[in-house]
Amino acid sequence: GQVYEQFLGKVIRLTSDHRAVVEDKPEVKKAGGVFYTPTYIVEYIVKNTVGKLLEDKTPKKAEALSILDPACGSGSFLLGAYQYLLDWHLKWYVADGPEKHTKGKRPALYSGQGGAWHLTTTERKKILLNNIYGVDIDSQAVEVTKLSLLLKVLEDETGETLNQQRRLFHERALPNLGGNIKCGNSLIGPDFYDGKQMNMLDTEEAQRINVFDWHSEFPEIFNAGGFDAVIGNPPYVIMGNDNIGNAAIDYLKRYQVSQYKMDLFHLFIQRGIDLIRKDGRMGYIVPNTWLTLQYTDRLRKYILDHSTICEILIFDHLVFIAADVHTALIFLNKSLPKEDHNVQIKISAEAKTVQELTNISPALVSQNMWAKGNGYIFETRILGQEGDLITKLLNNWPRLDKVSRASLGCQAYNSSKHSTEQIKNRVFHAVSKLNDDYLPELAGRDVSRYLIRKEKGEWIKYGSWLHDYRTMDWLTGPRILIREIAGQNTHKFQACYIEETYCHYKTILNVNPSLTTEFSMKYLLGILNSRLLSFLYPYVSNKMVAKSFPRLSVGDLKKLPIRNINFNSPDEKKLHDRMIQLVDQMLALHKQLAEAKTGHEQTLLQRQIDTTDKQIDKLVYELYELTPSEIAIIENEK
């Protein structure tokens, strides 16, 4: 399978000097490669789609089941489904009394060496032709899938057993899979040509687009209402003219789920739902980003409007060895959900077998709640005890943008406003202050926890001629700067306090007091740099970021709950002032650490910093009124 997957991702191109070059196909380059789906993922998806459909069925009733992979690649999912069907049939026949299934014109079983029961080749062929269907745009993939399935038909057979069965049944050993596994574009139908002259598309483009008419290619399936199950790992490719073409993109924009940053797997989810019959099942492995992103709300709405979501399984670990993509499994039933239906949510920390995935205890979330929510967000993170804690924090305290204001830094140049020459020569930058228009500039690397260390020493001519211009009140006075790239320990925010006038890159976020801000920016700095806020951030992000979130966004920062202070309460004012004392201490300690000359001095200062960090964390827990068990949730998180 892995060899086939890599082979299918390549194309041979003849260069101008007549050399043959093997290179990635354009769509593979765009996706970052072709990735082989691990066997345990295939088996779990098959078990929860095909397995569910086979419950309480007999082999006779199972003959009518149709299982499709609409982007079958080398056939991993179809092989998995076929193997599941073979195992299920053998188990059923043996449990039903094997001897009676060895008789008749078309026996299902025969007794092999040592008395073990086997499905006859005839039965294996019948199951394959009845139940397994696949489509792929790549003709090589189609042939590889056919070959893989035919080899599976012959698995465990010998020349002797094949000849014996051929004599009995007078039929060829291998079936013709041309009616089951087909080459075509699963997403583009013949209506692509509506209103177009056929000669407007050259032969090469027509072959590349490769339109596919589902209803004429599989008439018996659609006369019965559609496929019973759709399974697979659809391609993850953000669509662009360079890898798909203008005409195809215009067509694909007709999909109801299509919107900004359209990815092929979004369309395959809609197509999968459209292809299954009423009460049919779908199981995919896809990136998890679409569950919460703002610009995939149409996709979520389409799923909510057309299906019952049975299960979503989130992988906290990377499933594909060579791909840095966080994935999820989604299982749907094509039926409208009952009012009280709950979606099963599973989180896999490191499961690597079907049994381990099966054994994960699910949390339950109301599908109706998602359907009524703003943006139809599929929130799978705020669950269990952690979920109760996060909900409490979000409900009890105001958002950061209600008690202060936040913004990105400045982007000096952009092709929409500046010439190539201006950008190349960085015309607004200088190594010294040339006149009063110039401000000192900070880069992301200059900002860390409780410390600013300006390294490069550049100045920038500041004004409306820059691409992103901020009014001067953003760049002066008491405020907080936060590096966009987060740290990797338990205290991930890289935030510091500043009063001097600086311009800074977009790689730095700034938080400034608003007209209604009463607390000190140093008080807010202590909260942001605390362990609690690092714990909380991944749960408020629009993106399904890992708990070791790599970077911050202004939109997510604004949603963080901030403990406001009632200055009419002496007790609350005391907590506020205590935080300022601790933050002042941290600012001084980090400055001393940066200037320390000896290892011994650095060790002593780091110990004081660690102690003060713990004091700040403890104070933040008190401010947010956390119980010992809630504190334990945060402290015990890896």
User: Nearest CA to 215 among 256, 275, 265?
Assistant: 275
pLDDT at 489: 79
Which tens digits make up the pLDDT trace of 485-509?
Answer: 888 778 889 999 999 999 998 999 9
Check: CB of residue 297 under 8 Å from CB of residue 266: no
Domain annotation for the chain: domains and CATH numbers: 400-635 (3.90.220.10)
Pairing mode of beta strands 227-232, 67-69: parallel
- Residue 547 banded pLDDT, cuts 50, 70, 90: low
Tell me phi and psi for residue 407, to 5 degrees: -155, 160
- Residue 31 banded pLDDT, cuts 50, 70, 90: very low
Instruction: Tell me the Ramachandran region of residue 452: left when phi exceeds 0, alpha when psi lies from -120 to 50, beta otherwise.
Output: beta
Task: Count other Cβ atoms within 10 Å, centred on residue 360.
Answer: 15
Which tens digits make up the pLDDT trace of 230-248?
Answer: 999 999 988 876 667 788 8
Distance between CA 507 and CA 510 in Å, rounded? Answer: 10
Mean pLDDT (the chain) is 88
- Residue 544 banded pLDDT, cuts 50, 70, 90: low
Q: Which residues contact 156 (CB under 8 A, 6 or more apart)?
A: 112, 118
Distance between CA 488 and CA 548 in Å, rounded? Answer: 6
What 3-state DSSP class applies to 106? Answer: coil
E strand or H helix at 459: strand 459-461
Distance between CA 539 and CA 526 in Å, rounded? Answer: 20
- Residue 6 banded pLDDT, cuts 50, 70, 90: very low
Which tens digits make up the pLDDT trace of 359-407?
Answer: 999 999 999 999 998 899 998 877 778 888 998 999 999 999 999 999 9
Can you read off the two tokens belonging to residue 335?
């039926």
Q: Would the pTM count as exceeding 0.85?
A: no
User: CA 327: distance to chain centroid?
Assistant: 4
Distance between CA 416 and CA 490 in Å, rounded? Answer: 40
Tell me phi and psi for residue 166, to 5 degrees: -65, -40
Check: CB of residue 44 under 8 Å from CB of residue 81: no
